[in-house]
Amino acid sequence: MKSTNQDRDRLLTAARGGDDDALGDLIENFRPMLRAEAMRTLTEVQGRVDASDIVQLTWWSAFRGFPKFEGDVDAFVGWLINIHDCNLRDAMRDHNAGKRAIRREAALSAVLPTTPAKITSPSQKLVRIEEQEHLEACLASLPTAQKEALRLRYYDGLSIAVIVERMGRSETAVAGLLKRGLSGLRDLLRES
């Protein structure tokens, strides 16, 4: 559903009032534009970087950074495009640095999981465990589809495209599940 500028103004006003759903809907208005730009920009790293992942990263970055945003809808569009451009530049830089030899990536991934954290004290470890348990409890109370989408994306690290295939839903539906799941999770974490 295509929104008019009046609809976008209404969503921006509601988002400024703390309505996370309105902010999510406002950002969703620009998903097709962001996806098209990502697909055009990422052609040379296609297969290594998924356009949907960069769009989701932009969505999340905008959602987190919104409290600092000031301006009207036109300024919001520019601000969102700027965030997206930064994410695209970072993705291109990260995936073109030294042409990222697969052999080096495999060697590094083999070392990381077994490398102990040298600066973690017992109390820091306990706090981290308690925070993880609290997060798991909040996550468990979300609706099943939202919980599954969040786990696939943030625990398993799967791309949006893979999640779409696994869940048998459209990209927009998965993005909505992620948006509502993150919003619900944030609310639950605030409450406790």
140 close to 126: Cβ distance less than 8 angstroms? no
Q: Which domains does the chain have, with CATH numbers?
A: 1-115 (1.10.1740.10), 119-192 (1.10.10.10)
% of the chain beyond a pLDDT of 90: 17
Distance separating alpha carbons of residues 43 and 58, to the nearest angstrom: 18
User: What is the mean predicted confidence (pLDDT) over 186-191?
Assistant: 83
Q: What is the pLDDT of residues 1-41, one digit of tens each?
A: 456 778 899 999 999 998 988 998 999 889 899 989 988 88
DSSP, residue by residue, 162-188: HHHHHHT--HHHHHHHHHHHHHHHHHH
Q: What is the pLDDT of residues 119-130, one digit of tens each?
A: 556 667 677 777
% of the chain beyond a pLDDT of 70: 82
Predicted local confidence at residue 131, as pLDDT: 78
pTM more than 0.95: no
